[in-house]
Each structure stands twice: as structure tokens, then as C-alpha cells.
Amino acid sequence: MDAIQNVLAAIVVLGLLITFHEFGHFWVARRCGVKVLRFSVGFGKPLWSRFDRHGTEYAIAAIPLGGYVKMLDEREGPVAEEELDRAFNRQGVWARIAIVAAGPLANFLLAIAAYWLIFVMGTSTVAPVIGPVAPDSPAARGGLASGQEIVAVQGDATPTWEAVNLELLSAIGADGSLEIATRDPERSDQATRRYQVPVSDWLVGQDPPQPLTTLGVTPWRPATPAVLGQVLDDGAAAQAGLQTGDRIVAVDGEPIGEWMAFVERVRANPGKTLTLRVERDAATREMSLTPQRREQDGEAIGYIGAGVEPVSWPESYRREIRFGPLDAVAEAVTRTGEMTVLTLDSIRKMLIGLISPSNLSGPITIARIAGETARSGLESFVAFMAYLSISLGVLNLLPIPVLDGGHLLYYVIELIRGRPVSEAAQSAGLRIGLALVGTLMVMALYFDLMRL
């Protein structure tokens, strides 16, 4: 079921992003006087189509992975004399630049719209408060301690753990130290302290990078007692007679303090009967529980079909991030800019060897993450779509022939030289571009399969 959801989520995300990209080309081409022959949502044989008064065919095709825009162009077929002025190749260089750049620009605008929606809807999160600090880790050597809230990394504000991770990722390759500012979330004076955390070749070569683990910190979480919050009707917990509200006190005579300790015992004993001491209605009783067996990552684990009772976070640790419609525009533009810079910097670091090429993601990883974010909720799904839209925009602006950036490179050269790049040079560039893009696609698919 998850696999089907992943595929459907990927179709929705990629279909929307690529269609919006092509709509950017279409919209600007129309305003530059270029005749658009077809705007297709999807590839392959059209399932439905109609023509408008401008002679443009709108089609929905069988393969729902994006779309394309076909313009009148002498390089792709004969053009009637009376329509030559409407052919793409007959337009001035600035018009061609505008039409080609409109696709990636549409992706950035879509990302801004997505982030705007997130900021206006608002999100509830928790402060990035440090939990356990690993001994002899960079965090420990730098003086960071449990209970501190990270408010900035390298001078940039970090209101959430996501922001902390992004700032730590943007510092890949750093040597010397990272400046981390903290405060005590329990105090009202908001006083901050700055620490210099020693690092060397920060996150270099990690696949994937694990900034918090490498730093040596674990996010703080409130204690989670081993109390059942839900019990599935057909699970091992229900068969054993466990009920919602039961507190697991001990397993096989060993005291159980927190939920994860109970989970670890269950996972480690598939098919083996465990003796539980359970507290219910102020009374203690013993019960037998036999975890069911299932495979996960090639390993047999136990599960019982039960969930934990949610715990409340202290009010001082809660954060509500919400902006008004106008303020959200500025925040959305800023976030899109930050993610664009991070994407470009990641490409640069991959080219110089600071980031492993194995971090490339292909369609399998995109589908998996799309499915996971869709199951997590609207906010996660929209945020993933925004990031993927930015990645698509950046990728298409790379100066590689066959991509929009390659065409823009030709047009810039044409502006400088005063004449178009020769057909022979463009043909050679096309072959090089196809080879580069094809190699990247094969590598991404290979690393996808390795992750499986």
C-alpha cells in the first residue's frame, strides 16, 4: 500500500512542478507573440484535447509525469510565410531569453507560493532544545549542554530543529569551529551565550550527512512513560488482553521506565512470549504477551499493534510560527532564496568533492519522500514540493546544453558576439549535454537502488 501511495504522491508532485514549469514558458511565449502549437499535461498519446482561438492545442496525455510546450519553430518543421514572425527562432534574443528563463522562474514562484501558504496557515513546533550530549563530541568539547536551546548557528536564527539542520548542512566542509548561540528556554530574560564548537572537515564524505549525530547532540524530548495510547483490535497486544491506558511496569521482571525501552524489548523478541507486569486502575497484574513477527530491512522484528499515549511538551518549549498575509510574502521570498543558495552551494561542494555524489537522488527516492511527506500531513507535503520546485528551477538553470540554462548560455554568447552560436556548435553541445544529463540520471538511479 505504501508503494502505491509513494507512486501516486510522486506523480502529483512531479506532474504539478513540471506542468507549472512549462506553463511559465507558455505564458511568456504568448506575450512575446510566439505561436504555441501544443500545451500538453503528460506525455505520449493524448487522452483528451481541444484547440483555442489562437490555434493552440491543449492536451492531457497518457503518461502523467510532467508535460511540454511545443512552439512554432522553423528548426522543427516548415512554417508558412505569413506566420514567420510568430516562430520562436525568429524572435529577438531578449524575447528568447525571457521565454526560456520563464520556466525556472515559474518554479521559484511556485516555491514562494508554497512557503507563503505554510507561513499563513502557521505551524506548531517545538524549540530546538538540546537533550543528551555525547561525551567527547564536538558539542561537548565546545561547551554545549543538555537543556540549552539553540537560537542561532553561524549567526543565523534557528527557531526550529529543521532550521538547525539546514544551517549545519550549509556549513559542510568547515574547518576550525562553528559558532552556536544558545539560551535557557526556562528563563524569561532571553540572555544568549555563544560557543565555538571545534570541527574538522565538517560532514565531508558522509552519505547521507548526519549533522546532529556528528555534532553529538540529541533533541530533548519529555519523558514518555510506557503507557498504551491505542491498541489495534487484531494485534498481539489486544490478543493478550492489554487495554488503552495500561502502564507497562516491567518485562520479564526487568523494570521499564520509558516507552522506547518497552519498544526495544518487543522488537528484540519476535514470536517469544514475554511476561509483563501491568498497572491498570491502580492495581498491578501479570500478563503474557507474544509479539508477532515481521521482516524489516531483512531483519525479523517483533510488533504488537499498540501505540504510546501522547505526552505534553512544556509550554515554554512550544513555538507557533505564523505570519500575516503580507509579512508571509517577505518570509516566503527569504526562505526560497535561502534554499536556492543552499542548493547551489551543495552542487558546488559536490563538484569539489566535499559532498559525496552518492547523495544524488533519483525517482525512487523522490517517490519515497513524496509518499512519506504526504502521509505526514499537508504542511510536510507542501514544504517538500517547494524544495523540489526550487531544485528543478536550479537544475534547469545550470549551463548544460539541453537544459534551459544551456539555451540561455547560447543567447548570452549571441548578445556578446552579435550573432547566434553556429548550428555545428549547438549540435556538439547537445550531444555533450545529453551525455552529462544521461550520466547524472543513471548515477541517481544507481544510488536509489543502492539505498533500497
Contacts 24+ apart (CB under 8 A), 405-414: 405/104, 406/433, 407/96, 407/100, 408/97, 408/100, 408/101, 411/93, 411/96, 411/97, 411/100, 412/97, 414/93
Single-letter amino acid code for the residue at 83: E
Confirm if 181 and 159 have CB atoms less than 8 A apart. no
Whether 414 sits among the annotated catalytic residues: the reply is no
Helix (H, G, I), strand (E, B) or coil at 116: helix
d(CA 166, CA 160): 10
Confirm if 10 and 370 have CB atoms less than 8 A apart. yes
Q: Which three cell numbers stand for residue 91?
A: 524572435
Report the phi/psi class of residue 7: left, alpha or beta, with left for phi > 0 and alpha for psi in -120 to 50.
alpha
Q: Are strands 318-321 and 247-251 parallel, antiparallel or unpaired?
A: unpaired
Q: Which three cell numbers stand for residue 107?
A: 518554479
Which regions of 129-269 does DSSP assign to beta strands (E)?
130-133, 149-153, 156-157, 176-183, 192-199, 217-219, 228-231, 247-251, 254-255
Question: What are the φ/ψ torsions at residue 289 (nearest 5 degrees)?
Answer: -135, 125
Confirm if 349 and 431 have CB atoms less than 8 A apart. no
User: Please, which residues bridge with residue 39 across strands?
Assistant: 58, 69
Single-letter amino acid code for the residue at 182: T
User: Any idea what the Cα angle at residue 293 is, between residues 289 and 295, rounded to 5°?
Assistant: 150
Confirm if 228 and 307 have CB atoms less than 8 A apart. yes
Q: Which listed residue (22, 83, 149, 315) is catalytic?
A: 22
Q: Which is nearest to 390 in space by CA: 41, 64, 163, 115?
A: 115
d(CA 380, CA 366): 14
HSE-CB of 305 using CA atoms within 13 angstroms: 18
The DSSP symbol for 390 reads H
Confirm if 256 and 226 have CB atoms less than 8 A apart. yes
Positions annotated as catalytic residues are: 22
